[in-house]
Amino acid sequence: MTGKFSASSTTTSKKIVNFAKAVFTTLIVLNLGINSSIAGDPFPRSQPRDIGENTEAAFKAVFKEGNYQAGQKYLQQAISAEPNEPLAYAMQASLAYTNEDTATLESYSTKTLDTAKKLISSDPLRGNLYAAVGHFLEGAVILTREGTVSGVPKALSRLREVYKHLDKAEAISPKDPELNLIKGYMDLFLAVNLPFANPQQAIQRLEENAAPEYLVDRGIAIAYRDLKNYPKALEYANRALKTTSDNPEIYYLKAQILREQAKKQKNPQMIQQAIANFDQALEKKSQLPAGVVKQIESERRNAAQSLK
């Protein structure tokens, strides 16, 4: 999941790449109790897709449990056993970003796009959808390598390709939950970062047509956090926790929201609540990437120091 495209510092680059990570590692795909006749498709639609058992297991480990270590093991199996599934490559790209491995991020971003293009002939909905994902990831690579000054024009050209493919996918099935989840996250990102965009339209898309519900709630919580509407952000974070109570990243998100709300209201009790949620996230730090743990610990220290 905020800067603007015109920013002259590296902040914009980092936040756009962070959004790429958020989109392509959180918006797709857990088995959250939705019955499906084909393994690996957690979306409630009339024509389920066979995403693959290993890819599904990786998603479940990372996004429902917040267990990146287990997810990486499943993902390595998915790359070998399910080579035609673009989701697996998108997730590898996202994990590479988390590990600050730009070369691997670039490699798997390209594989995401290439695999998606091949999928278009047999499944134009998901093929175009993940062609959009691939172009977005490649735009993130450009910003990572070149920064905002020289990278933004190239990244914006990728963004045009993103929406070209999303429009094609939407023409095929405008209410598809997978499509609306991805497009809803992208629209929220642009709405939060660009002054002329309307975040409520993106939120409405997510609420009305996207699934699974947990990822909808999580995305909306992030949007309201960035919009500084902390009561609404907290409401959606708590809704996400109802179905993902074992995921340390949701407690981290809730802690961030509480911390910002506490600063706004000058409420020390709320800061203590934020610290408690940081601590709950850190109880499972062994399953999180080292960089994420470092960031949680840093934010936790800052919150504690504010009480002195």
- Consecutive 10-residue averages of pLDDT for the chain (308 residues): 33 46 36 31 57 86 88 94 93 86 94 97 95 91 83 84 95 92 83 74 89 86 91 96 92 97 94 98 95 95 93
Q: Which uninterrupted H or E stretch holds 12?
A: helix 11-26
pLDDT value at residue 43:
53
In the three-class reduction of DSSP (H, G, I as helix; E, B as strand; rest coil), residue 2 is classed as coil
Task: Give the Cα-Cα-Cα angle 67, 137, 151 (nearest 5 degrees).
Answer: 130
pLDDT value at residue 61:
85
Burial 125-160 (b: 16+ CB within 10 A, else e): bbbbbbbbbbbbbbbbbbbbeeebeebbebbeebbe
Cis before 212? omega within 30: yes
pLDDT value at residue 5:
30
Q: Which uninterrupted H or E stretch holds 21?
A: helix 11-26
pLDDT value at residue 47:
62
pLDDT value at residue 35:
27
pTM listed for this prediction: 0.81
Burial of residue 230 (CB within 10 Å: 0-12, 13-18, 19+) is: buried
pLDDT value at residue 49:
67
CA distance 148 to 167: 27
pLDDT value at residue 28:
32
* Class level of CATH domain 11-211: mainly alpha
Q: What are the structure tokens assigned to 206, written together?
A: 């997510």
pLDDT value at residue 1:
33
CA distance 306 to 308: 6
Q: Name, in order, each residue with C-beta under 8 angstroms of 134's C-beta and a sequence gap of 6 or more.
A: 86, 90, 109, 110, 112, 113, 114, 116, 117
- The closest of 302, 189, 188 to 256, measured between CA atoms, is 302
DSSP line for 217-245: HHHHHHHHHHTT-HHHHHHHHHHHHHH-T
pLDDT value at residue 56:
84
Whole-angstrom CA distances from 258 to 22, 126, 233, 277, 300 are 20, 37, 9, 9, 12
Annotated domain spans of the chain: 11-211, 241-308
pLDDT value at residue 60:
82
pLDDT digits (tens, 9 = 90+) for 6-39: 333 344 444 444 444 444 433 332 222 222 333 4
